[in-house]
C-alpha cells in the first residue's frame, strides 16, 4: 500500500487476528474479504499479483487443525493458482523450511530434497507444503504462470499471537507472566530466527524478481533453544526458571538456512540482529500481557 498498490487481504481468521489489520481498514487502498481460500475464490476486477500466505504455521496450530492445514496448502494453493491464471497475474507461494523436515544436510540449501515423515504429526504441514510447491511448479511449466516460491525459516516479531505455541511467543509470554520457560527436550536443538520486517523485505524483493526456483528466506544465525531461553530471560529480567518438557514427535534437530541464492538473486540480507528484534518483540508483548510491571 505504501508503494501505491491496492491490496485485497483474504483470510478465514482461524489462526490470524482481525486486530492485526484493523489499522488499514479505513485506507481506501485496502479491502478485507473474510474467506477460506480452500473454497472457490471469486475476486472482482483485475489483479496483478497473488501472494498465497494462508495456512496455520505454528506446530501447535497445525496439530489442532490437521485437515484444514492439508486443505489450505493443497486445495487453497490450487484455488489461488487458478485465480492467478484467470487474472493473468503473477504468483508467489509461501513455502517453508519444513519441506526439509529433520534435515540430514546442514545448512539447508534449496537443492536439498528433505527428510520428512509423511505420516507423522508434522506431515500435515510438511507434506502439504511440498505438494504446494509441486503444483506451483506444474502451473509454471504447464500454463506458463509467472510463479515464485519462498521457503520461510522461523520468523518472529510484534503481533505474534500470545498463545500461538511457538518458542519465541511462549518464552516471552511465560517470562512476562512469571511462569517457567518451557524448553522441550534438552534444549540442544537449533533454529535460526528472522525478524518479521526482514522477511517482508525478502517477500517484496521476490515478488519483484523473476526467479522461479525456490528461495530460502531466513536469518543464518543459528541458536539452540536453550540459548534462546537464556537470552529472553535476560532481556525481560524475569525471575522465571527454565524447566524441561518432553520433546514433540519429529521435532527437527537443527535448522539453518543457506541464503546464498537470496543474496545473489535478490540482493537480500537480513538486517535485524536477534537482540534488537527480540527487544522490539518484547516491547510489543508488554503492551499485551496485563500482568507486566508486576514482576
Ligand atoms: N520449543 C520449546 N519450548 C516451547 C515451544 C517450542 O522448547 O515452549 C521448541 C520446539 O520443540 C522446537 C523449537 O522450540 O525445537 C522451535 O519450535 P516452534 O514451535 O517455534 O517452531 P518449529 O521450528 O518447530 O516449527
Residue 111 has pLDDT above 70, yes or no: yes
Closest atom of ligand 1 to CA, residue 58: 19
- pLDDT number for residue 290: 73
The pTM for the full model equals 0.97
Q: In which band, very low, low, confident or very high, does the pLDDT at 292 lie, cut at 50, 70 and 90?
A: low
pLDDT in tens, 152-165: 999 999 999 999 99
Q: Provide mean pLDDT across the span 25-51.
A: 97
- pLDDT number for residue 262: 98
The domains of the chain are located at 7-291
In whole angstroms, give the CA distance from residue 246 to residue 138: 40
Q: Provide mean pLDDT across the span 217-244.
A: 98
Closest CA to ligand 1's atom 5: 167
State the catalytic residue, choosing from 125, 139, 156, 195. Answer: 125
Please tell me the total number of residues recorded for the chain in this structure.
295
pLDDT in tens, 246-260: 999 999 999 999 999
Q: In which band, very low, low, confident or very high, does the pLDDT at 294 lie, cut at 50, 70 and 90?
A: very low
Query: In the annotation, is 62 catalytic?
Result: no
In whole angstroms, give the CA distance from residue 198 to residue 17: 21
Q: Decide: 172 and 281 in contact? Cβ < 8 Å.
A: yes
Q: Is the CB of 148 under 6 A from ligand 1?
A: no
CA of 246 relative to ligand 1 center, distance in Å = 11
Q: Provide mean pLDDT across the span 125-144.
A: 98
Q: Is the CB of 59 under 6 A from ligand 1?
A: yes
- pLDDT number for residue 289: 84
Q: In which band, very low, low, confident or very high, does the pLDDT at 295 lie, cut at 50, 70 and 90?
A: very low
In whole angstroms, give the CA distance from residue 284 to residue 159: 7
Residue 293 has pLDDT above 60, yes or no: no
Cell numbers at 200, concatenated: 517482508
Q: In which band, very low, low, confident or very high, does the pLDDT at 101 lie, cut at 50, 70 and 90?
A: very high
* CATH superfamily, domain at 7-291: NAD(P)-binding Rossmann-like Domain (3.40.50.720)
- pLDDT number for residue 267: 98
Residue 147 has pLDDT above 70, yes or no: yes
What residue ranges in 146-285 does DSSP mark as E strands?
147-152, 155-156, 181-184, 190-192, 194-195, 214-217, 222-224, 242-245
Closest CA to ligand 1's atom 11: 184
One-character DSSP codes across 118-146:
TTSTTHHHHHHHHHHHHHHHHHHHHH---
Closest atom of ligand 1 to CA, residue 171: 8
Amino acid at each position: 500500500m505504501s508503494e501505491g498498490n491496492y491490496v485485497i487481504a483474504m483470510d478465514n481468521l482461524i489462526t490470524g487476528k482481525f486486530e492485526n489489520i484493523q489499522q488499514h481498514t479505513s485506507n481506501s487502498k485496502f479491502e478485507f474479504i473474510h474467506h477460506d481460500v480452500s473454497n472457490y475464490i471469486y475476486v472482482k476486477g483485475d489483479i496483478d499479483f497473488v501472494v498465497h500466505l494462508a495456512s496455520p504455521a505454528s506446530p501447535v496450530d497445525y496439530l489442532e487443525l490437521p485437515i484444514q492445514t492439508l486443505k489450505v496448502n493443497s486445495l487453497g494453493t490450487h484455488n489461488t493458482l487458478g485465480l492467478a491464471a484467470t487474472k493473468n497475474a503473477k504468483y508467489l507461494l509461501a513455502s517453508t523450511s519444513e519441506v526439509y523436515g529433520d534435515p540430514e544436510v546442514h545448512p539447508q540449501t534449496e537443492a536439498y530434497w528433505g527428510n520428512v515423515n509423511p505420516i507423522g504429526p508434522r506431515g500435515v504441514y510438511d507434506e502439504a507444503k511440498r505438494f504446494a510447491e509441486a503444483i506451483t511448479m506444474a502451473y509454471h511449466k504447464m500454463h506458463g504462470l509467472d510463479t515464485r516460491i519462498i521457503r520461510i525459516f522461523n520468523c518472529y516479531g510484534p503481533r505474534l499471537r500470545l498463545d500461538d505455541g511457538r518458542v519465541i511467543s511462549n518464552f516471552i509470554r511465560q517470562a512476562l507472566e512469571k511462569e517457567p520457560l518451557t524448553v522441550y527436550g534438552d534444549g540442544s536443538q537449533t533454529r535460526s530466527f528472522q525478524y518479521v520486517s526482514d522477511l517482508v523485505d525478502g517477500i517484496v524483493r521476490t515478488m519483484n524478481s523473476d526467479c522461479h526456483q525456490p528461495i530460502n528466506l531466513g536469518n543464518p544465525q543459528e541458536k539452540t533453544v536453550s540459548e534462546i531461553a537464556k537470552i529472553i530471560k535476560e532481556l525481560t529480567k524475569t525471575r522465571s526458571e527454565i524447566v524441561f518438557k518432553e520433546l514433540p514427535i519429529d521435532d527437527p534437530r537443527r535448522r539453518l538456512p543457506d541464503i546464498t541464492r537470496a543474496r545473489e538473486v535478490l540482493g537480500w540480507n537480513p538486517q535485524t540482529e536477534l537482540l534488537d528484534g527480540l527487544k522490539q518483540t518484547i516491547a510489543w508483548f508488554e503492551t499485551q500481557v496485563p500482568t507486566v510491571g508486576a514482576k
